[in-house]
Copies of this chain bind each other. A is one copy, B any other.
Amino acid sequence: MQRFRLLVEYDGRPFSGWQRQAGTPSVQETLEEAARKIAPHERIVVHGSGRTDAGVHARGQVAHIDLEREISADNLQGALNYHTKGWPVSVLKSEVVPDSFHARFSAKKRHYIYRIINRRARLTFDKGLAWHVKTPLDADAMQDAAQVLVGQHDFTTFRHIHCQAKSPVKTVDYIHVERQGDELLVKVGALSFLHHQIRSFTGTLQLVGLGKWTKADLKAALEARDRTALGLNAPSDGLYFDRVEYDCDQAAAPTGPTSMA
């Protein structure tokens, strides 16, 4: 048996999310069905480093898969990309790793990027790939307020009511809000996140950017530890699972300008 680590990019638009669900297409199922064509007699499971919701994208999701069949890492990449044709999923990298590596449990830090396009005109290329906010946003105010969320907190306010995590306490390592022309990037890193945490952060920070909320309002919402104190949940369109870090490497970053990091 060999364990392979895969770096996976996907456009989340046609998927009901990462996780396999009966009756709707998922990224996990798309990869597992492709792997089944390569090793039809094996029990195939593709383990992701984290789930993404319906419509959420990935530049650098990491997954692992075990195969009895002998195949090189390069051939596995080529075969998976061949058999996922027709779906916007692509294996950017494939490598053999020790059995001790686990895409989910070995992960030390997860990095997400949320893209907002802040202009009056409708989106063309980026429809479904960014949140379109027409009113000018104050990125500096958003960056300043966001620092309230950094560190260890009870994030009940920023957690979906169906979140399955045992505790609402998480540690956010950083949040950076940056403007690049008419695009705003909200970059967030942590060991792990609650369900909808980044979308809840971004939706509420957008209220700060519009001048409707102050930094103090954001702090009060956090301290309320109450989902009803949430300002707004941002749509899935702008969210990208950017990369995962593991102890065994510097960073599992996708190369190239396709990474927005």
Give the B-binding residues of A (Cβ under 8 A). 9-11, 57, 77-78, 81, 84-85, 88-93, 117, 119-127, 129, 180-183, 255-259
Give complex CA distance A125, B57 in Å: 9
Q: Which of A57, A84, A123, A124 gathers the greatest number of chain B CB atoms within 10 Å?
A: A124
Write the nearest CB–CB distance from A195 to chain B, whole angstroms.
24
Is the pair B181, A119 in contact by a Cβ cutoff of 8 Å? Answer: no
Q: Main secondary structure on chain A at its contact with chain B?
A: loop
Within 8 Å CB of A122, what residues of B? 81, 84-85, 90
Nearest CB in chain B to that of A259: its residue: B181
Within 8 Å CB of A126, what residues of B? 258
Is the pair B121, A125 in contact by a Cβ cutoff of 8 Å? Answer: no
Give complex CA distance A183, B93 in Å: 16
Is the pair B256, A124 in contact by a Cβ cutoff of 8 Å? Answer: no
22 pairs of residues in contact across A and B, judged by CB atoms under 8 Å: A11-B124, A11-B125, A77-B120, A81-B122, A85-B122, A90-B121, A90-B122, A91-B121, A93-B121, A126-B258, A180-B256, A181-B255, A181-B256, A181-B257, A181-B258, A181-B259, A182-B255, A182-B256, A182-B257, A182-B258, A183-B256, A183-B258
Is the pair B89, A124 in contact by a Cβ cutoff of 8 Å? Answer: yes
Write the nearest CB–CB distance from A182 to chain B, whole angstroms.
3
Is the pair B256, A119 in contact by a Cβ cutoff of 8 Å? Answer: yes
Give complex CA distance A187, B57 in Å: 29
Is the pair A10, B124 in contact by a Cβ cutoff of 8 Å? Answer: yes
Within 8 Å CB of A124, what residues of B? 9-11, 88-90
Within 8 Å CB of A9, what residues of B? 121, 124-125
